[in-house]
């Protein structure tokens, strides 16, 4: 996609024709979310909201994942200092809420792994498309943790029973199951995912 582009450390943004492509860009880490990402995501959403030329955004990931979840490199420091957990959780919630409050329609294009925070970002978007290779999970349960935003947003999107099941079992579901429970709207072939998502985004921008 041609057009103006903004570069951040963990995210790239390309804009053209009223549509922004927002790509989580740590493919070597399966786009695991670190502190830098949590600071950058609200800045990206504010930038798009402030741009009168942008009406819709497609949020995806570089490589084979949207995101495998939180960067495990952060956890030792957090577990060693309980006082650090509360500001960290606020940072995480503020980042994901930035998607919800964005002044543009945000569409998830889930190209592969979307575990933990990856599923939470999918929930935060206005709607989502997924590749047949996509998978979703709240893996936090396997670490004795809970998906904070997932528990608050999940019941509105996929219902309380599925939210409870995923948050407590750490079960991984495929794209078709995600479609059947309302987490994603459509399932696409991998090579057609971005065309489908950007096509719908372009229709929104045209209106």
- Selected catalytic residue, list 9, 100, 133, 140: 140
**Residue 100 annotated to the active site:** no
pLDDT digits (tens, 9 = 90+) for 26-66: 999 999 999 999 999 999 999 999 999 999 999 999 999 99
- Tell me the average pLDDT across 18-27: 96
Average pLDDT of span 147-163: 95
1 pLDDT exceeds 50?
no
Q: Is 140 a catalytic site residue?
A: yes
DSSP H stretches of helix in 10-134:
35-50, 75-80, 85-101, 117-124
Q: Tell whether pTM > 0.85.
A: yes
What confidence category does residue 70 fall into, taking pLDDT thresholds of 50, 70 and 90? confident
pLDDT digits (tens, 9 = 90+) for 162-190: 999 999 999 999 999 999 999 999 999 99
CA distances in angstroms from 163 to 64, 98, 159, 167, listed in the order given = 25, 22, 6, 6
C-beta atoms surrounding 134 within 10 Å: 31
What is the arithmetic mean of pLDDT over 1-20?
80
pLDDT at 2: 41
SS percent in the chain: helix, strand, coil, step 5:
50, 25, 25
Catalytic residue among 120, 133, 176, 186: 120
Question: 100-149 pLDDT, tens per residue?
Answer: 999 999 999 999 999 999 999 999 999 999 999 999 999 988 888 889 89
Q: What is the pLDDT of residue 132?
A: 98
Quick check: 195 pLDDT over 80?
yes
């Amino acid at each position: 996609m041609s057009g103006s582009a903004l570069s951040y450390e963990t995210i790239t943004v390309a804009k053209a024709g009223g549509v922004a492509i927002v790509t989580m860009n740590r493919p070597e880490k399966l786009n695991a979310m670190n502190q830098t990402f949590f600071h950058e995501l609200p800045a990206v959403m504010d930038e798009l909201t402030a741009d009168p030329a942008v009406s819709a955004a497609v949020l995806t990931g570089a490589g084979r994942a949207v995101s495998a979840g939180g960067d495990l490199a952060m956890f030792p420091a957090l577990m060693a200092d309980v006082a650090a957990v509360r500001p960290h959780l606020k940072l995480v919630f503020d980042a994901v809420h930035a998607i919800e409050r964005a002044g543009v329609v945000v569409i998830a294009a889930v190209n592969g792994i979307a575990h933990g925070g990856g599923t939470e970002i999918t929930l935060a978007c206005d709607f989502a498309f997924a590749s047949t290779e996509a998978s979703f999970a709240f893996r936090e349960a396997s670490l004795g943790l809970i998906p904070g935003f997932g528990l608050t947003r999940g019941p509105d999107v996929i219902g309380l029973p599925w939210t409870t099941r995923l948050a407590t079992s750490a079960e991984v579901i495929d794209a078709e199951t995600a479609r059947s429970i309302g987490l994603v709207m459509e399932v696409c072939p991998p090579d057609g995912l971005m065309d489908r998502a950007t096509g719908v985004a372009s229709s929104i921008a045209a209106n």
